[in-house]
Each structure stands twice: as structure tokens, then as C-alpha cells.
């Protein structure tokens, strides 16, 4: 479970979160919605301890991670598969080497086991045929799939964290990535999808949060979202 207890966070003068509280179980399917710059990415970075709150506490799986050191955070980070916003691959490495990179970095696996694991991960995301291609040879959708495979490497995720997983993709590829997100959640591993696209959130999530002015202006089910009174949320979901 993830617990934010009155978390505040600022980048210099810019206050991004103001005493924000919520909790989410690892098996939930959550969408964090909000306009650009409202702090969606910040929430994900706080969950994995890449940044620390100015005030408030963050608990992961019952452990207070707020004051943990980088070393202590390793085990916390292993609980999440985090797909970064740009999902960037290393341009100079082929698909196999990109996915293997994290395995080499974070595990002591033999080369033979790394080969096997890379193939397994690429199969999960449906791009095993692209194993020897370079990033520049991949379509947008394939590129995103490889990024997801890479974020899956070297961890046994209790939860997936996706930061704008369909940004820059055409509607068909976006839809396919949403399907992949649902497929990966099938064995009861939940996810948080951060997105400014309402359609992606509706396709994937069961619980919806809306960030506005550093606060959670909404947190509820799809049905509740459709009947929302809050004018900001209403405006956002109607676009």
C-alpha cells in the first residue's frame, strides 16, 4: 500500500503539493489526472523516493520511506516498475542491450540468464521480433513497449507506475498500450497511470484522482467522476 500523509512538496518557489493525503493498495488501478504542471510526475517521483517531501510522511508497504537513504530505498524501488514520461531508450544500444542494461546494473545474473530474461520480457510486451533492432528503427508504439519491458526488468513489481505512457503515440498505438497496461495488471498487480488524457484513464483505471493547485480536487470511481460537481474536474473531463 502507498500512503501519502499530508505531503507537501516544492521546487524552489513553486509549491507543487499542499498537504496532499491519499492511500492506494498495490492491486488498485488508479489514474492520476490533471493539467500540465499540476504535479502528476512529482507524485510518482515521491513514491519511489527520487525526491523527498518538505513536510508530511510517505509510507510504502507499511514502511516510512520519508527519511530513507538512497541505499535503503533500493528495496522500495524494486517494488515498482516505473515507466518514465519520455520512456527514453539508449540510442546507441539495440533493443536487447537496452533491456539487458537494467539486469546487468541491478542483478548478478549470468549472461545466459540475462538472454533468457530479455526474451521473456520482450514476449510479455509483444516485441520479441524486434530484439536486434536499434531504437531509431522502432515505431512509436514498439519503442514504448520496449521501454515498458525495460522498466519491468530487474524488479518483481507489486505495482506499475506509468508516466504519460501514450504521449506522442497515434490513437491505435495508444489504444494498444492501454491494452498492454490492462494485460500486465491481470494477475492482480495494480498500477498508477499518470496522464492528461482522460480517454486513456477511462480505458484503464477504476479509481480516478484529479490534481489541481497542489490538492486532490477529486478521488473516486468512474461513476462518481461522471457525476462530479467540481467545475475544474468537469471542464477537464469534458475536453
Name the site residues for ligand ADP (rule: CB under 6 A): 11, 14, 16, 34, 36-42
Q: Using alpha carbons, list the distances in angstroms from residue 125 to 128, 142, 180, 225, 238.
A: 8, 9, 7, 30, 32
14 binds, among Mg ion, ligand ADP, none (CB under 5 to 8 A by kind): ligand ADP
**With binding defined as CB under 5 A, does residue 204 bind Mg ion?**
no
In the complex, minimum distance from the CB of residue 196 to Mg ion, in angstroms, rounded to a whole number: 8
Measured from the CB atom, is 142 or 209 closer to ligand ADP? 209
Residue 98: closest CA among 154, 146, 137, 136: 146
Measured from the CB atom, is 36 or 238 closer to ligand ADP? 36
**With binding defined as CB under 5 A, does residue 41 bind Mg ion?**
yes
Q: Using alpha carbons, list the distances in angstroms from residue 32 to 106, 121, 219.
A: 29, 26, 9
CB 95 within 8 A of CB 133: yes
**With binding defined as CB under 5 A, does residue 195 bind Mg ion?**
no
Measured from the CB atom, is 41 or 204 closer to Mg ion? 41
Q: Output the CA torsion sign for 204, 150, 79, 36.
A: negative
How many CB atoms sit inside 10 A of residue 20's CB? 23
Measured from the CB atom, is 98 or 163 closer to ligand ADP? 163
State the residues that interact with Mg ion by CB under 5 A.
40-41
Amino acid at each position: 500500500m502507498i500512503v501519502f500523509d499530508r505531503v507537501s512538496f516544492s521546487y524552489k518557489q513553486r509549491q507543487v503539493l499542499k498537504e496532499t493525503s491519499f492511500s492506494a493498495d498495490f492491486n488498485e488501478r488508479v489514474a492520476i489526472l490533471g493539467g500540465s504542471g499540476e504535479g502528476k510526475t512529482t507524485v510518482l517521483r515521491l513514491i519511489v523516493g527520487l525526491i523527498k517531501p518538505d513536510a508530511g510522511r510517505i509510507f510504502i508497504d507499511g514502511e516510512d520511506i520519508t527519511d530513507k537513504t538512497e541505499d535503503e530505498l533500493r528495496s522500495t524501488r524494486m517494488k515498482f516498475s516505473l515507466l518514465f514520461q519520455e520512456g527514453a531508450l539508449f540510442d546507441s544500444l539495440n533493443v536487447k542491450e537496452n533491456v539487458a542494461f537494467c539486469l546487468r546494473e541491478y542483478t548478478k545474473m549470468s549472461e545466459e540468464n540475462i538472454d533468457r530474461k530479455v526474451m521473456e520480457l520482450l514476449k510479455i510486451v509483444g516485441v520479441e521480433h524486434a530484439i536486434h533492432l536499434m531504437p531509431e528503427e522502432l515505431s512509436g508504439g514498439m519503442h514504448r513497449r520496449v521501454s515498458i519491458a525495460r522498466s519491468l526488468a530487474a524488479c518483481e513489481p507489486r505495482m506499475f507506475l506509468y508516466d504519460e505512457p501514450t504521449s506522442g503515440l497515434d490513437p491505435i498505438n495508444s489504444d494498444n498500450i492501454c491494452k498492454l497496461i490492462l494485460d500486465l495488471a491481470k494477475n492482480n498487480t495494480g498500477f498508477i497511470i499518470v496522464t492528461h488524457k482522460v480517454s486513456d484513464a477511462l480505458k484503464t483505471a477504476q479509481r480516478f484522482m484529479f490534481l489541481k493547485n497542489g490538492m486532490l480536487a477529486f478521488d473516486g470511481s468512474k461513476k462518481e467522476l461522471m457525476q462530479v460537481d467540481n467545475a475544474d474536474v468537469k471542464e477537464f473531463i469534458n475536453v
